[in-house]
């Protein structure tokens, strides 16, 4: 049973080109979106629970149990769950150096994808701000795992992107799942410039808001059930 106050506000958060897009909800008939320049602005929102699509708890060696636990449930969508590089690699500013360092801190040795490397600044931002104590409020999530829950714990048959471009049928499927889950997405502000917030970014933030609401109400799942901690004491888990 939830120990949080009635009518509490939750936030779902996804990284976007302009920073972070947050969607807040109090369980009522409207969602609100907030474009935040940095994660400190996200934390300043009055949300009781924040669920964010970004790793919390960076590993000493590349790869974490949460991604392994989640990937096996997502079928063809498992490619959206990447192996988190080692913390040492994530703090590299140069791509070639990040690959070299991660090869030394992974078994089997693996380099870093360019897509993952571009997320390093956001990973470092969260790593600098989130403490074990703050994990009572800030939780790691993953949109595709959230949609898996909404879809009756069944992998989605359609991707949200094809060749790095938004895929209409896949986005429509996710909108339908959000509506069926009770999120009032149709009046949500979505007129951001594409170069600032992508259509998929906003839907992913809504999916994370769904997870935050489940956490608030004591209905969430976490993977793995007994999460390990990194050297800083941060739980390494993905919530849904």
What is the token pair recorded at 13? 């958060």
Residue 3 counted as domain residue: no
Read off the DSSP letter of residue 57. Answer: S
What is the token pair recorded at 228? 């390990």
Per-residue pLDDT of the chain (240 residues; tens, 9 = 90+): 344 455 699 999 999 999 999 999 999 999 999 999 999 999 999 999 999 999 999 999 998 999 999 999 999 898 889 899 999 999 999 999 999 999 999 989 999 999 999 999 999 999 999 999 999 999 999 999 999 999 999 999 999 988 878 899 999 999 999 999 999 999 898 789 999 999 999 999 999 999 999 999 999 999 999 999 999 999 999 999
Q: Which residue has the tokens 């969508």?
A: 77
Residue 5 counted as domain residue: no
Residue 169 counted as domain residue: yes
How many domains are there within the chain?
1
Q: Which residue has the tokens 């000493």?
A: 60
Read off the DSSP letter of residue 80. Answer: G
- What is the residue range of 26's domain? 10-239
**pTM for this predicted structure:** 0.94
Q: Quick one: how far is CA 208 from the chain centroid?
A: 7
Alpha-carbon distance 213 to 219, whole Å?
A: 8
Alpha-carbon distance 176 to 168, whole Å?
A: 12
């Amino acid at each position: 049973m939830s120990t949080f106050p009635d009518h509490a506000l939750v936030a779902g958060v996804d990284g976007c080109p302009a920073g972070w897009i947050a969607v807040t909800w109090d369980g009522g008939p409207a969602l609100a979106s907030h474009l935040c320049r940095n994660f400190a602005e996200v934390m300043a929102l009055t949300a009781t629970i924040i669920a964010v699509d970004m790793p919390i708890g960076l590993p000493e060696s590349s790869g974490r149990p949460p991604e392994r636990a989640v990937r096996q449930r997502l079928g063809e969508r498992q490619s959206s769950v990447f192996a988190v590089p080692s913390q040492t690699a994530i703090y590299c500013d140069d791509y070639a150096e990040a690959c070299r360092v991660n090869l030394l801190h992974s078994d089997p040795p693996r380099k870093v994808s360019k897509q993952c490397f571009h997320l390093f600044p956001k990973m470092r931002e969260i790593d600098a701000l989130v403490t074990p104590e703050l994990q009572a409020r800030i939780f790691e999530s993953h949109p595709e795992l959230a949609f898996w829950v909404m879809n009756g714990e069944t992998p989605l048959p359609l991707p949200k992107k094809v060749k790095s471009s938004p895929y209409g049928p896949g986005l429509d499927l996710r909108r339908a799942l959000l509506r069926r889950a009770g999120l009032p997405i149709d009046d949500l502000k979505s007129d951001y410039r594409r170069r600032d917030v992508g259509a998929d970014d906003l839907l992913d933030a809504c999916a994370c808001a769904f997870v935050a609401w489940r956490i608030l109400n004591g209905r969430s799942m976490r993977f793995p059930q007994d999460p390990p901690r990194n050297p800083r004491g941060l739980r390494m888990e993905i919530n849904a």
